Structure 1
Amino acid sequence: MANPLRTLTRAQFHAYFAALGGWSLDAFDFFIFVFCLKAISGEFHTGVKSVAEGIFLTLAFRPLGALVFGWLAEKHGRRPILMLNVASYSAVQLATAFAPNLATLLALRALFGFAMGGEWGVGAALALETLPAKGRGFFSGLLQEGYVIGYLLASIVFACLFVHVGWRGLFIVSSASALLVLYIRYGVEESPAWVAGVVARRASAAVLWAAVKGYFPTLCYLVLLMACFNAFSHGSQDLYPTFLQVQHGFSAQTTGNIALVMNLGALAGGICFGALSERLGRRGAIALAAALALPMIPLWAYSHTAVMLAVGGFLMQFMVQGAWGIVPAHLNELSPPSVRAILPGFAYQLGNLAMSRMAPFQAGFAESHGGDYAHVLSWTLAVVVIALILVTALGPEARATDLRVSA
C-alpha cells in the first residue's frame, strides 16, 4: 500500500502539517500542566485535587474558544485564525510560568482553555477541506494523534527536564510553541473551500444561526458522542501520571518513561483504526476500538511493576486513541460546509465541558478512599466504554463526503 502522505500536493501537505502541528503543540502545553500537578500542589501547599481544578477550568472554557475562534475562521479564513490560536495559547503558557499563587494559575488555565478550544476545529477544517477524500481515514487518524504526539512530547520533556528546571521552567520551554506561527505565515495556503467565497459570504450572524438551528439534532448527538469520547480519553490519561507517582511511588523519570510507552501505543492505534475505518465504517471502527479497551483494564490499572503497567498502558491507549483517530473525519463529514469551522469544534468542546469534572472527581474519590486511584480509574473507564459503544451505534455516518466542496 502506497504511503498516503506521498499523494499530497505541496499545498495539501503544508496545510495538513500546520493543523497537525497546532494540535500537537496545543496538547503538549496542556499535558505539561497534567504532569506537573503534584509539583504545583507541593509548591502552593495544597492538595492535588485543588490543582486539578485547572484541568476543569481548561475544559470548561474550551467551548467558548471553539465558538469564538470558529466564528472568526468563518469570517476571516482558517489560516490567520489558526495563527492567532497558536500565538494565544503560547502566550498564556508563558504567563503561567510566573503565576505567584494558585488563584492566578487557575485563572490562567481558564484563559488557556479559551485559546486551546479554538485550535481543533479551525485546524481540522483547514486540513480536511484541503485534503482529498481518498485516504481521509488515515489522515484523520494521524491528525487526531497530534494529541498523542503532544502527550508524548510532554512526557519526554518532563522526564528529561523536570529535575533540572522544575515546573515553571517546563512552562517556559512549552511556550516555544509560538514558533509554529512563522511556519503557518510563510508556508501554508488558505482552505480552498473558504477561498471559493461561499463560506465567507455566508458567515453572517443570521445565516450562521439558521445553519446551527438546522443542524441542531445532529449537534446534540455529536455533543453526547464527544462527551463519551472525552470521558474515555481524560478518564484514562489525565490522572494516570499522578496514579503512577502517588499509588506506586514512581519517580518523575519512570513516570515519563511509562507515559512514553503509552503514547507510542496511542499513536499506532490512531493511525491503524483511522485507516481501518475506511473498511469498517466510522461507527464500526469506533465501536471495535472501544470494546477492545475493556479487557485491557486489569493490566492497565492493577499491575504491580513498571514494566507491566507500561504494557497495560500501551494496549489501553492503542484502543483509546484508536477510537479517537476517527473523530476528525467523522465530525467534519457530518457537518455542513457553511459552519464547518464552528460546529465540529463546538460539539467537541461541549463534550469536553460535559466531562470537565472527570479529573477532579477521580482525584477526590481516590483521596477519600486511601489514595486508591486504580479502583476509580478502572470502574469509571468501564462505564464510559459501554456508553461510548451504545451512543456510537445509534448515530449517523457520512463517510467519503467531499469536504473540498464549499456548498
Structure 2
Amino acid sequence: MFATADTNKDRLFHNPSLPEETARDALDDAELEQVFSEDREVEYREDSEEMPPITWYSIRRYAVTRFTSLAHVHSVSWHNLNPIPELRKMSLQNWNYFFMGYLAWLCAAWAFFCVSVSAGSLSQLYGKSTHDITWGLSLVLFVRSAGAVIFGFWTDRYSRKWPFIACLLIFAVAQLCTPFCDTYNKFLGVRWLTGISMGGIYACASATAIEDAPVKARSFLSGLFFSAYAMGFIFAIIFNRAFIHVNGADSWKIQFWFSTFLPVLLSAWRLLWPETRYFSKVLKARTLMQRDAIEANGGRPLPKISAGERFQKVKATVRKYWIHFVYLVILLVGPNYLTHSSQDLLPTMLRSQLGLSEDAVTVIVVVTNIGAICGGMIFGQLMEITGRRLSLLIACTMGGCFIYPAFMLRTKEAILGAGFMAYFCVFAVWGVLPIHMAELAPADARALVSGLAYQLGNLASAASATIETQLADRFPYEKNAQGETTKHDYAKVMAILTGAVFIFTFVCVFVGHEKFHRDLSSPVMKKYISEVETLEADGVSINEYVDKEMKLESTAMNLCDSSVSKTSEEQIERV
C-alpha cells in the first residue's frame, strides 16, 4: 500500500502489488488526485521487498489482480497529457544538462550503427561474410556489461562528469582507429573498445540528462532521451549516403572519421560544467553520513572495507532481492531483442534482399526511425495516464499488428508506412521501460539491481544479429539457374523474431506488477539530502560545518577516553 510522501495521514492507497486488497473508495481517489496534481512522488508502505510466502491462495489472488490492477485513470491524469506546462518549468541549466546527456547517447548509437550501415563494405574489405561482420555488432553488446560495471560504479560513487568524458573519448578513439584496421581481428579489437564505452555511457548520460529535471517532466524526457538511439541510426544512414561518392571504394571510412567530432566536442562542452545539482547534494550528503558513522564509531576513523566484505554485501543484496532481480532480467531480454532484431539488419535487408538504391535505403531508415522517436516521446507521456504496464501492453499489441505488413509485403510503400508504426511501437516500449524499471528496483539497491538487470538482458540479446543471419541461410529468397541461393530472406527472419519477442514482452509485462510514481530516493539518502538543503538555505558550508562538529567531537572524546568502560565499548561496537 502507499501514501503520499511527507504526509501524516493514516489513509493508505491500494497497491496493486498486494492482492489482498483491491477496493478503492472516494477518499483514496481524492488523495491520489492530489499526488497527480503536484510535483510529488509516491511513498510505498507495507510493501515488503523480500520474497513473499508462496501459497496457492496468494498465487490465485495475484493472477486475478493482473487484470484488475492494470490501470486506474484519474481525472487529473488527463491534464498531464500535455507535457508543455511541465517542460516550461525547465531552466536553461536543466536543458543544458539534458542535451549533454541526449547527445552522449546519440554518440553511442551512431558509433554502433556505423558498422551496421557499412556491413557490405566491411565484408568485402576483410573477405568475410555478413554473418562474420555482424559478429562485430554482437561483440559490442557482449562486452557492454563490463563497461556498465566499471563506469557504473564510478558514476554512482564518485562522479557523473568524469566517466561521461572518459566514455566519449573512448568513442572518439575507436571511431578514429576503425578505418585503419587492416585485419578482421584488429577490427574486432577496436569494436570491443566501443562496447566497453557503450555499456558505460548509458548510466552517466541518463543521470546527467534527467536527474535535475522537474518530477512531472521526467516521463516525457525519459522517452525523448532514449529516442537518441534512433537518432544515432538516422545520423549513421544519412552520413553514409552523404559520403558515398567520397574516397572511392573506401567511402565508408569517411563517416567513421567524421563521427569523431561529436564526442570530442561534447567532452569539451562537459568540461565547462560542474556536477549536476542532485549529485552535488549527494556528495555533500555522504559527508554528513560519514560524520554520523564516525560518531557512531566513537569518534575513531572508520575501518576500511575489504574487497571480500564488499563482495559479501553484494551477495547478500542479490540473495535478498533475487525475485526482483530475476524478473527484471527476464523483462529486459524482450525489449533488447526488439531493438536489435528489428534494426541491426534493416539496411542489409533493404540492399541485399530487395535491391533498393542507396537513396531509397536512406529515406526508409530515416522515416522509420522518425517513427521510433515519436513512439518514445508519445508513450513516455501517455504512461502518466495509463500507468506503466498498460502502456507497455498497448505498445506490444500495436507492434504485433504492424509486423507482417512492415516486413512481409516487401514493398517500399509498405515498409515506409507499416515500418514507421512498427518502429513507433518498438521505441514506445523503451519510452516506458527506464522509469518502470527504476520504480520496480528496491530503494537500497536500485543502481545495482536495475543496472545489472538491464545489462544482462542486453547480454542475452547480444547475438540477435548473428542469429538472424544464420536463420536467413535457411530461408532462400532467390536462386540462380544452378539452384544456388543468391539472396536470403532477411525480412522473413526479422518478422518471425520481432513478432515472437513482442509476444514474449507482452507476457512478461502482464504477469508482472508496477509501482506507479514510486519515490525513487533511498530513505537514508533522502534524509541527509534534506539536511544538506537546510544547511545550504542557511548559508552554511557543509565541509566547514562537518569539520567544526568533528573537532568538537574529538575534544569531547579526548576528555572522556580514560573513562570509557568495557560496556560502553560494546555499545559502540553494536552501533
TM-score by length of 1: 0.93
CA pair 29-81 structure 1, distance change in 2 beyond 3 A: same
In the TM superposition, what is the alpha-carbon distance from 1:267 to its structure 2 partner?
A: 0.6
Per-residue displacement from partner, 1:68-120 (whole Å, max 9, x unpaired)? 10001122111221111111122112111211111111121122111100111
Preserved CA contact (<8 Å) 2:114 2:255:
yes
| Cα RMSD, aligned residues only | 2.2
- Indicate the SS of the match to 1:271: helix
Aligned to 1:63: 145
The residue type paired with residue 196 of structure 1 is: V
Preserved CA contact (<8 Å) 2:325 2:453:
yes
Q: What is the correspondence of 1:7-406 to structure 2 with a 5 Å cutoff?
A: 7-165=89-247, 166-176=251-261, 177-187=263-273, 189-193=275-279, 195-197=281-283, 198=285, 206=310, 210-336=316-442, 340-370=446-476, 371-403=488-520, 406=525
CA pair 250-226 structure 1, distance change in 2 beyond 3 A: same
Q: Distance in 2 between matches of 1:93 and 1:395?
A: 40
- Bigger helix share: 1
Aligned to 2:536: none
Q: Distance in 2 between matches of 1:123 and 1:404?
A: 19
In the TM superposition, what is the alpha-carbon distance from 1:332 to its structure 2 partner?
A: 2.5
Q: Distance in 1 between matches of 2:463 and 2:182?
A: 25
| Range 120-129 or range 36-45, more displaced | 120-129
In the TM superposition, what is the alpha-carbon distance from 1:288 to its structure 2 partner?
A: 0.8
Preserved CA contact (<8 Å) 1:293 1:385:
yes
The residue type paired with residue 259 of structure 2 is: S
Q: Distance in 1 between matches of 2:280 and 2:449?
A: 15
The residue type paired with residue 37 of structure 1 is: A
| Range 336-345 or range 352-361, more displaced | 336-345
Structure 1: gaps spanning 5 or more residues: none
In the TM superposition, what is the alpha-carbon distance from 1:9 to its structure 2 partner?
A: 2.2
The residue type paired with residue 113 of structure 2 is: F
* Larger RCO, structures 1/2 (Cα 8 Å, 6+ apart): 1
In the TM superposition, what is the alpha-carbon distance from 1:367 to its structure 2 partner?
A: 2.6
Q: Distance in 2 between matches of 1:331 and 1:106?
A: 32
CA pair 45-346 structure 1, distance change in 2 beyond 3 A: same
The residue type paired with residue 388 of structure 2 is: R
The aligned length equals 407
In the TM superposition, what is the alpha-carbon distance from 1:213 to its structure 2 partner?
A: 4.5
CA pair 301-96 structure 1, distance change in 2 beyond 3 A: same
The residue type paired with residue 185 of structure 1 is: L
Q: Distance in 2 between matches of 1:251 and 1:199?
A: 58
Q: Distance in 2 between matches of 1:277 and 1:19?
A: 22
Q: Distance in 1 between matches of 2:499 and 2:370?
A: 23
- Indicate the SS of the match to 1:8: coil
In the TM superposition, what is the alpha-carbon distance from 1:211 to its structure 2 partner?
A: 4.4
Q: Distance in 1 between matches of 2:241 and 2:103?
A: 22
Per-residue displacement from partner, 1:255-292 (whole Å, max 9, x unpaired)? 12110000111111110111001111111111110111
Preserved CA contact (<8 Å) 1:159 1:254:
no
Q: Distance in 2 between matches of 1:211 and 1:81?
A: 25
Instruction: Determine which structure has more spread, i.e. the larger CA radius of gyration.
Output: 2
TM-score by length of 2: 0.67
CA pair 333-83 structure 1, distance change in 2 beyond 3 A: farther
In the TM superposition, what is the alpha-carbon distance from 1:15 to its structure 2 partner?
A: 2.1
CA pair 305-102 structure 1, distance change in 2 beyond 3 A: same
The residue type paired with residue 455 of structure 2 is: Q
Preserved CA contact (<8 Å) 2:160 2:275:
no
Preserved CA contact (<8 Å) 1:243 1:373:
yes
Q: Distance in 1 between matches of 2:521 and 2:229?
A: 24
| Percent of aligned pairs with the same amino acid | 29
The residue type paired with residue 212 of structure 2 is: T
| Range 247-256 or range 274-283, more displaced | 247-256
CA pair 402-128 structure 1, distance change in 2 beyond 3 A: farther
- Indicate the SS of the match to 2:216: coil
CA pair 128-374 structure 1, distance change in 2 beyond 3 A: same
CA pair 151-338 structure 1, distance change in 2 beyond 3 A: farther
Q: Distance in 1 between matches of 2:392 and 2:193?
A: 32
CA pair 75-2 structure 1, distance change in 2 beyond 3 A: closer
The residue type paired with residue 511 of structure 2 is: L
Per-residue displacement from partner, 1:193-247 (whole Å, max 9, x unpaired)? 4532356879976256654554433222221111111111111111111110111
- Indicate the SS of the match to 2:182: coil
CA pair 41-337 structure 1, distance change in 2 beyond 3 A: same
| Range 247-256 or range 2-11, more displaced | 2-11
| Range 206-215 or range 19-28, more displaced | 206-215
- Indicate the SS of the match to 2:244: helix
Q: Distance in 1 between matches of 2:424 and 2:460?
A: 24
Q: Distance in 1 between matches of 2:135 and 2:99?
A: 32
